[in-house]
Amino acid sequence: MKALVFRRFGGPEVLAVEEVADPVLAPGTVKVRMRAIGLNYADVYRRRGNYHLAGEPPYILGYEGAGVVEEAAPDVQGVQAGDRVGFADVPHANAELVIAPADKLVPLPDGISFETAAAILLQGLTAHYLTNDSYAVRPGDRVLVHAAAGGVGQLLIQLCKAKGAAVLGLTSSQAKRSSALTAGADEVLMYGGGWVDACLRWSADREGGVHGMDVAYDSVGVTLPDSFKAVRTRGTVVFYGMAGGDPPLIDPRMLMDTSKTLTGGDLWNHVTTAEDRLRRSQALFDEILAGRLRLEAPRLYPLAVGADAHRFIESRQSTGKILLMP
Q: What is the mean pLDDT of residues 98-106?
A: 98
Q: Find, among 302, 322, 301, 303, the residue nearest to 313 by Cα.
A: 322
Sign, CA dihedral 151-264-197-250, equals: negative
Which of 3.90.1150.10, 3.90.180.10, 3.50.50.60, 2.40.10.220 is the CATH number of 2-120+271-325?
A: 3.90.180.10
Range list of H helices, 32-173: 41-48, 114-129, 151-162
Q: What CATH number matches the domain at 139-264, 3.10.20.30, 3.20.20.60, 3.40.50.720, 3.50.80.10?
A: 3.40.50.720
Question: If DSSP codes are grouped into helix, strand and coil, which group holds residue 300?
Answer: strand
pLDDT digits (tens, 9 = 90+) for 50-79: 787 878 899 999 999 999 999 999 999 999
29-64: burial string, b at 16+ Cβ within 10 Å, e else: bbbbebbbbbbbbebbebbeeeeeeeeeeebbbbbb
Please return the burial class of 249, using the count of CB atoms within 10 Å of its CB with bins 0-12, 13-18 and 19+. Answer: exposed
Each residue's pLDDT tens digit, 148-194: 998 899 999 999 999 999 999 999 999 999 999 999 999 999 998 79
* DSSP-derived 3-state class of residue 184: coil
**pLDDT surpassing 80 at residue 317:** no
Q: Going by DSSP bridges, is the β-strand pair 97-101/322-325 parallel, antiparallel, or unpaired? A: unpaired
Tens-place pLDDT, residues 242-299? 888 888 999 999 999 999 999 998 999 999 999 999 999 999 999 999 999 999 889 9
Q: Indicate if the pLDDT at residue 210 is higher than 80.
A: no
Q: Which of 64, 96, 34 is nearest to 268 (CA)?
A: 64
Q: Give the pLDDT score at 245.
A: 82
DSSP 142-165: EEEETTTTSHHHHHHHHHHHHTT-
CATH 3.40.50.720 domain span(s) along the chain: 139-264
- Is residue 301 within 8 A of residue 325, CB to CB? The reply is yes
CATH 3.90.180.10 segments of the chain: 2-120+271-325
CB under 8 Å to 17, separation ≥6 — which residues?
A: 2, 3, 4, 5, 303, 304, 306
* Percentage, residues of the chain above pLDDT 70: 98
User: Could you tell me the pLDDT band of residue 206, with boundaries at 50, 70 and 90?
Assistant: low
Stated as kind and residue range, the H or E segment containing 2 is: strand 2-6
